[in-house]
Amino acid sequence: MSNSSTEKENRFSPTICVTQRCNLNCVYCYQKHDSKDMDFETAKKCVDYIFDNVPKQFNAVEIDFIGGEPLVRFDLLKQIFDYVREKKVQIPYLFFATTNGTLLDDEMKKWFTERKDYFVLGLSLDGTPETHNHNRSNSFSKIDIEFFQKNWPFQDVKMTLSEFSLEHLAENIKYLHSLGYKSISGVNLFEGSFDWGQEKFIKMMIPQLEEIVDFYVESDVEYKNQMLDKSLMICEAKREKRKYCGIGDGTVFFDVDGIKRPCSFCSPMTFDEKTLEEMSKTDFTKEELFVDDDCFENCYIYPICPNCSGANYLAEHSFKKRNRSKCRIQKLISIFIADLQVRKILKNPDKYSDTEKFKILEAAKKIKSAFLPEFSEYFE
């Protein structure tokens, strides 16, 4: 079996959807869950394609499994694992699946523990038991958090936001860090049923972000989360009109029927067949089809503003046009990103080069100059 650990790995990361089924009904889920599953013959064809078509720039492979809830098809995951082992592929490889953690029984735990160096499970956890139960079908008590941390101690945890969790964001983030997670992925304003442009969210976020920034600055541990972990230096760099994801050409995603889709977001669980057919006519190599010219030319934080081309299509029926309903709240978040990074520099200046300090401070100054006046009434 190929060694899954190499130095300086540059991983090719295709995704396989093993099932559209899920055992939970989360409040923010955008997917239309069905009973469709991938069969083993289809899975083998996907795996063969993946290992036969690894782009030259990659020296390792990470196959990501999604659903639905991927552990619904634990049987298929085992079959795929054994099939790859029998192929005796020469390139290093790793398997990964994000799970809600509620289906893990003793048999599964034993199987994954024995293969933990080759098969990583990432846990979705939204914060305190109260928040998690509100968002994710009262499932907190069904999760063995210690199992995940024992087997994959350096793996981050994934948080998804709802209106309820936003009101308790600081508490939820500090709670996840208190469990031992140094990094939290997700933490984005998700493209679901929530209108993030509402004024109440602005008012709700300010004290939460203030508390989080204070916590990160005061902590001696290098904690981070995806919402605030942005490099301001990118804003000072020369901009290029390009896609910020691999949709359509760099991303390889196989649906339950084995059909290749532009990405995991652009699937029948999100869009109807007519819309998917429209998408399939897109020339995904044309970068200009994915660049919002107005944002690119007129918004300083364009390079650090979270953007999903598939989510754009869901909201605007266009890969190009970004969802403007989140502009104000993203500007607000950028103010706190700037505050966090400036305060970190002031606390530990020796950790940064002169160039880093200059660019970060310049970016922070421009962000605050551009956006603070818009929120002045909240900071008085």
Query: What mean pLDDT is reported for the chain?
Result: 93
Confidence of residue 6 (pLDDT cuts 50, 70, 90): very low
The helix/strand/coil state of 295 is helix
- Tell me what the mean pLDDT of segment 253-281 comes to: 93
- Tell me what the mean pLDDT of segment 294-313 comes to: 94
**pLDDT value at residue 190:** 67
Query: Which region among 27-36, 47-56, 314-323, 357-366 has the lowest average model confidence (pLDDT)?
Result: 27-36
**pLDDT value at residue 5:** 45
Confidence of residue 365 (pLDDT cuts 50, 70, 90): very high
- Tell me what the mean pLDDT of segment 166-170 comes to: 94
Which of 130-138's residues contact partners 24+ apart within 8 Å by CB, and which partners? Answer: 130/168, 131/164, 131/165, 131/168, 131/171, 131/172, 134/27, 134/162, 134/164, 134/165, 135/26, 135/27, 135/28, 135/160, 135/162, 135/164, 135/165, 136/24, 136/26, 136/27, 136/100, 137/24, 137/25, 137/26
Q: Where are the domains of the chain?
A: 230-245+284-372
pLDDT of residue 205 exceeding 70: yes
- The CA–CA distances, whole Å, from 287 to 45, 266, 292, 350 equal 30, 18, 11, 39
CA distance 33 to 19: 9
pLDDT of residue 4 exceeding 50: no
pLDDT of residue 2 exceeding 50: no
**pLDDT value at residue 380:** 66
How far from each other are the two terminal CA atoms of the chain, in whole angstroms? 62
Number of H helices, E strands in the chain: 15, 10
pLDDT of residue 311 exceeding 70: yes
**pLDDT value at residue 192:** 58
- Tell me what the mean pLDDT of segment 197-224 comes to: 95
> Exposure pattern of 113-144 as b/e (b: 16+ CB <10 Å)?
eebeebbbbbbbbbbbebbbebbbbebbeebe
